[in-house]
Amino acid sequence: MTIAARSEHHLNIDSIRVGYSAGRTFTEIVHGMSFSLARGEIGCLLGPSGCGKTTVLRAIAGFESLLGGRIALGGRELSHAGFTEAPERRGVGVVFQDYALFPHLSVWENIAFGLQRLSRDERRQRVDRLLSLVGLASHARQYPHELSGGQQQRVALARALAPQPDLLLLDEPFSNLDVDLRERLALEVRDILKELGTTAVLVTHDQHEAFAIADQIGVMHQGVIVQWDNAYNLYHRPESRFVADFIGQGVFTPGTVDLPRQQVHIELGSLPLWQGINACSTTERTEQVVDVLLRADDVVHDDASPLQAEVVRKAFRGAEFLYTLKLPSGQQLLALVPSHHDHAIGEKIGIRLGADHVVTFPSESA
Ligand SMILES: Nc1ncnc2c1ncn2[C@@H]1O[C@H](COP(=O)(O)OP(=O)(O)OP(=O)(O)O)[C@@H](O)[C@H]1O
């Protein structure tokens, strides 16, 4: 069956519902979730543990069937209630968290594994190209146990890409790697997918990984996508408190909206409202109490500033310290400060606002 509507999208996930039964009870985990990707686009499902990310991926791979909604790829319907195309017939490749390489096969043989139907020459060309693309040409004869975790994950990626799938799924592919390598490999994988024009969906709970690899990110909460957007908008224009909280670091601080001046006043000073984005919609009153999202990079350390805040906690981040600061009112803030400004706990430091816009939410204390 071909889906004519929205054919500009390569992958269409349309109102899918997925759940599990355990004994006599049935629990719905994914509650009518939708997103689409154009050909060659990289999407990411990002969310806290247990929100249903892997369940969605398993449904796209064909390991779980749908209770409702539909999944289509390249105009081909892969799943709807009562129909699940078999995983091996979907044209979907999967890279798992634990690499799942064949231990008794060499790197070359692992990548060639799914290419039996190709001629010897085609197979050799395909595997050699992928090996050089993932930077492992000199490791072709080695076995998985002789490789580092990052190298094994590159082999797993090459193996999943070898049959040229219509869609690649990556399930927390970097979570077994250390933090520095994770982000580097995520950027490398992005380059490889872009070079091949492969459409991909990644799931992770690590926002740096999501930011490094994805064109579009769906922030998931309790089985639904609460915002589908690019990384910049998720950080700077979160549409809900959940997204504001989950993405980046910041605090909510009380503020008063001054609509005539299009400003919001907080303890640190006044800021322009971001037109149309989360600005309070109520116009009956000229002032309104709101919670203002202040990111750690919105608060600037400035010795010349008359506004002083006390250092309550500090975390060394290499290039920066993440300071937790207390204002005279007791309100706490976060501030990212270059790490050559090494201040002691209890010390008072000058701060000022460094934000050019502000995002507000209805006050939870009002
Ligand atoms: N096979 C299963 N049978 C029953 N319940 C399951 C099964 N697999 C997952 N669940 C439940 O579904 C919910 C969502 O799980 P899922 O693995 O999709 O979440 P996730 O967002 O990928 O989490 P994580 O980041 O921890 O992997 C969880 O409450 C989990 O316990």
Strands 263-266 and 76-80: unpaired
Residue whose CA is at the smallest distance from ligand 1 atom 5: 20
Distance CA 182, CA 201 (A): 17
> If you measure from the C-alpha of residue 234 to the centroid of ligand 1, how many angstroms do you get, rounded to a whole number?
24
Q: Which residues line ligand 1 (CB under 6 A)?
A: 20, 22, 29, 47, 49-55, 205
> If you measure from the C-alpha of residue 127 to the centroid of ligand 1, how many angstroms do you get, rounded to a whole number?
35
Q: State residue 364's pLDDT score.
A: 79
* Residue in 7, 8, 26 with CA at minimum distance from that of residue 17: 26
Strands 216-221 and 42-46: parallel
Structure tokens at 254: 């009380």
Average pLDDT value over all residues in the chain: 88
Pick the atom of ligand 1 nearest to 57's CA. Answer: 18
Could you report the predicted ipTM of this complex, rounded to two decimals? 0.93
> If you measure from the C-alpha of residue 15 to the centroid of ligand 1, how many angstroms do you get, rounded to a whole number?
19
Residue whose CA is at the smallest distance from ligand 1 atom 9: 55
Structure tokens at 365: 């204390």
Structure tokens at 273: 């409202």
Residue whose CA is at the smallest distance from ligand 1 atom 6: 20
Q: What mean pLDDT is predicted for residues 223-239?
A: 93
Pick the atom of ligand 1 nearest to 47's CA. Answer: 21
Residue whose CA is at the smallest distance from ligand 1 atom 1: 20
What is the pTM (predicted TM-score) of this model? 0.86
Distance CA 220, CA 32 (A): 12
Amino acid at the residue 120: R
Structure tokens at 68: 């409702």
Q: State residue 271's pLDDT score.
A: 84
> If you measure from the C-alpha of residue 329 to the centroid of ligand 1, how many angstroms do you get, rounded to a whole number?
43
The dihedral formed by the CA atoms of 281, 284, 288 and 292, expressed in degrees to the nearest 10: 10
What is the three-class DSSP state of 190? helix
Cβ–Cβ < 8 Å for 246, 219: yes
**For 327-337, how does the pLDDT look when each residue is reduced to its tens digit (9 = 90+)?**
999 999 999 99
Structure tokens at 111: 């990548």
What is the three-class DSSP state of 147? coil
**For 312-364, how does the pLDDT look when each residue is reduced to its tens digit (9 = 90+)?**
999 998 899 999 999 999 999 999 999 999 999 999 999 998 877 778 888 87
Check whether 280 has a pLDDT greater than 50: no
Q: State residue 354's pLDDT score.
A: 86
| 21, 26, 51, 54, best to mutate for ligand 1 pocket (most atoms within 8 Å of CB) | 54
> If you measure from the C-alpha of residue 224 to the centroid of ligand 1, how many angstroms do you get, rounded to a whole number?
14
Q: State residue 79's pLDDT score.
A: 97
Q: State residue 4's pLDDT score.
A: 43
